[in-house]
């Protein structure tokens, strides 16, 4: 028997029946593109075939193929079953709506190799209760999402290697066409993401194909690793084919490789945690575009966490070794580095802070200056809150990704936070989530201050301002001027120098 109170939404592709939770209407597992399987592997996403019956949208879809244990440990939880048929999204919408609401579209992180829009930290109920429509997106991961090979070049009308970015673009086009049915305003779409999701947001701000599909952007812990040049991606694709015994591989042979064969690959056959530059999706490297301020001009929020170096150990980065390398190669000048980090003792701690700022913090400074050149506001933040019972676990501050359940106000759903947070931690999370929703609702050229526990001014007209979220691991917010200015200006010059050499 069909329950008559379950919410129906009539999209351009057909009718969807969702579910209700805490007065929030939820539709899970909505297809936004055709399954990228068989002949559609390593092709741009194709339109969904319409359906005539009512389609149940009450369960999450499969995630793209990945390492399930790695995702459980570092990606935010259990992504569930895997399939190449993974191009689905999820929608949360308030049950009572007086007008079209701001839309927040989330791109998950995970180094472009793990994650899913269905993971517990990304549950949209708490944000939707603040009168926004939330969308989370699955996209192709690993070699299924980023791949180049001469055989594919020969069959394509244009060079495409960033299939995951094209998936995200297809999801945004779906939002433009359909979100009004769910109560959302297609003219007020905020694209936000963390880590690889943040890198995706940056890439779509730099891509000619991203123009006009979203109106604001939030970049959480984006990183400065250079994009993979297309020439390198082609070489890697040939090496991967040869690993599977395919010399002079054809497209048919490549597409016959089982999807589960890709994710266990190790370096050097793994993909880098960056998109490919030089194809039709990303003609120029993302950093080049921002250093030249040629990105799409929209209001931006950008920030990072106080212990982003926590993720570097996962990728085998020797923090103390990086300082030894600077000392050995005389890059930057160790004397300058020590002047910029007074009182920091030991190569391990110095390496932790230098690597954090070069790879993460400096990006906010680069984007801020690019925004000032195009006349758009930029809200910067520094997240340094650690749950009250966990100060010994996180002695150096907030780890990479720790801010996500605060942004979504999902501390009681996410692991491991649900096991140790208290009322003060939850109250702080509610305030962070309020800032994000206020940005989605109000940020514009004519509204450059966000309301909250403290008024958060944007960086405009040459003003370098930043909101500290968490003060010495305790709840609180404070606006600071010229935050780490000397360090970040130096690292930006280093980035620009490397761009000029390429």
The whole-number average pLDDT for the span 439-460 is 94
pLDDT tens-place string over residues 287-334: 999 999 999 999 999 999 999 999 987 777 899 998 888 887 766 667
Percent of the chain whose pLDDT exceeds 90: 83
pLDDT tier at 362, thresholds 50, 70, 90:
very high
- The closest alpha carbon to 249, from 320, 154, 343, belongs to 154
- The closest alpha carbon to 191, from 138, 142, 134, 139, belongs to 134
Report DSSP letters for 62-111, one per residue: PBPS--HHHIIIIISS----B-S---EEEEEEESS-SS-EEEEEEE--ST
Identify the DSSP state of 284.
S
**CATH number for domain 1-45+53-184+244-282, candidates 3.40.50.1110, 3.40.50.1820, 3.40.960.10, 3.40.50.300:** 3.40.50.1820
The CATH code for residues 299-502 is: 3.40.50.1820
pLDDT tier at 3, thresholds 50, 70, 90:
very low
Q: Is the pTM of this model over 0.85?
A: yes
Domains 1-45+53-184+244-282 and 299-502 share a fold: yes
**Separation CA 28–CA 42 (nearest Å):** 25
Q: Please name the residue that has the structure tokens 């299939």.
A: 163
Residues annotated as catalytic are: 195, 308, 400
Nearest 5°: phi and psi at 101? -105, 155
pLDDT tier at 501, thresholds 50, 70, 90:
very low
pLDDT tens-place string over residues 222-265: 999 999 999 999 999 999 999 999 999 999 999 999 999 999 99
Determine the pLDDT at residue 56.
96
Question: Could you tell me the CA-to-CA distances from 144 to 168, 255, 282 in Å, in that order?
Answer: 14, 10, 17
- The closest alpha carbon to 450, from 205, 271, 216, 203, belongs to 216
Decide: 434 and 130 in contact? Cβ < 8 Å.
Answer: yes
pLDDT tier at 104, thresholds 50, 70, 90:
very high
As to burial, measured by CB atoms within 10 angstroms (0-12 exposed, 13-18 middle, 19+ buried), residue 353 is: buried
Give the residues across from 15 on adjacent strands: 10
Q: Length of the chain in residues, anyone? A: 502
- On the question of pLDDT at 335 being above 90, the answer is no
Helix 319-329 / helix 347-356 crossing angle, nearest 10 deg: 90
- The closest alpha carbon to 355, from 316, 309, 404, belongs to 309
Determine the pLDDT at residue 145.
98
**Separation CA 302–CA 191 (nearest Å):** 12
pLDDT tens-place string over residues 44-88: 999 999 999 999 999 999 999 998 887 888 888 888 899 999 999
Domain ranges of the chain: 1-45+53-184+244-282, 299-502
């Amino acid at each position: 028997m069909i329950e008559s109170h379950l919410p129906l939404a009539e999209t351009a592709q057909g009718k969807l029946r969702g579910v209700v939770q805490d007065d929030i209407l939820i539709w899970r597992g909505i297809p936004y593109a055709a399954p990228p399987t068989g002949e559609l592997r390593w092709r741009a996403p194709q339109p969904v075939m319409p359906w005539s019956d009512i389609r149940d949208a009450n369960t999450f879809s499969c995630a793209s193929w990945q390492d399930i244990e790695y995702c459980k440990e570092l990606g935010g939880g259990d992504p569930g079953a895997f399939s190449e048929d993974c191009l689905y999204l999820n929608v949360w919408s308030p049950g009572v709506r007086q007008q079209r609401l701001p839309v927040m579209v989330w791109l998950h992180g995970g180094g472009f190799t793990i994650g899913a829009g269905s993971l517990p930290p990304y549950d949209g109920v708490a944000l939707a209760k603040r009168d926004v429509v939330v969308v989370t997106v699955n996209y192709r991961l690993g070699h299924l999402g980023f791949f180049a090979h001469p055989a594919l070049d020969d069959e394509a009308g244009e060079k495409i290697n960033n299939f995951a970015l094209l998936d995200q673009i297809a999801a945004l086009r779906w939002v433009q066409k359909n979100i009004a049915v769910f109560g959302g305003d297609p003219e007020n779409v905020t694209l936000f993401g963390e880590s690889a999701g943040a890198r995706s947001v940056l890439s779509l701000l730099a891509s000619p194909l991203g123009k006009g599909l979203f109106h604001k952007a939030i970049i959480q812990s984006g990183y400065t690793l250079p994009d993979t040049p297309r020439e390198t991606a082609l070489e890697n694709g040939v090496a991967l084919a040869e690993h599977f015994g395919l010399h002079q591989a054809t497209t048919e042979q490549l597409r016959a490789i089982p999807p589960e064969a890709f994710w266990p690959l190790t370096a050097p056959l793994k993909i880098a945690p960056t998109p490919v530059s030089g194809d039709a999706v990303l003609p120029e490297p993302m950093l080049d575009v921002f250093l030249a301020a040629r990105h799409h001009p929209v209001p931006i929020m950008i920030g990072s966490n106080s212990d982003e170096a926590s993720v570097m150990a996962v990728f085998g980065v020797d923090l103390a070794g990086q300082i030894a390398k600077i000392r050995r190669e005389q890059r930057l000048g160790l004397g300058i580095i020590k002047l910029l980090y007074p009182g920091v003792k030991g190569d391990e701690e110095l390496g932790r802070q230098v690597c954090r700022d070069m790879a993460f913090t400096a990006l906010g400074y680069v984007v801020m200056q690019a925004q000032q050149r195009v006349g758009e506001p930029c809200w910067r933040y520094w997240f340094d809150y650690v749950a009250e019972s966990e100060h010994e676990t996180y002695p150096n501050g907030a780890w990479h990704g720790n801010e996500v359940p605060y942004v979504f106000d999902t501390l009681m759903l996410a692991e491991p936070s649900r096991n140790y947070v208290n009322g003060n931690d939850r109250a702080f999370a509610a305030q962070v989530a309020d800032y994000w929703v206020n940005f989605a609702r109000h940020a514009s050229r004519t509204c450059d201050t966000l309301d909250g526990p403290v008024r958060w001014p944007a960086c405009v007209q040459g003003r370098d301002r930043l909101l500290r979220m968490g003060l010495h691991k305790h709840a609180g917010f404070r606006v600071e001027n010229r935050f780490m200015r000397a360090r970040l200006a130096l690292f930006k010059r280093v980035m620009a120098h490397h761009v000029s050499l390429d």
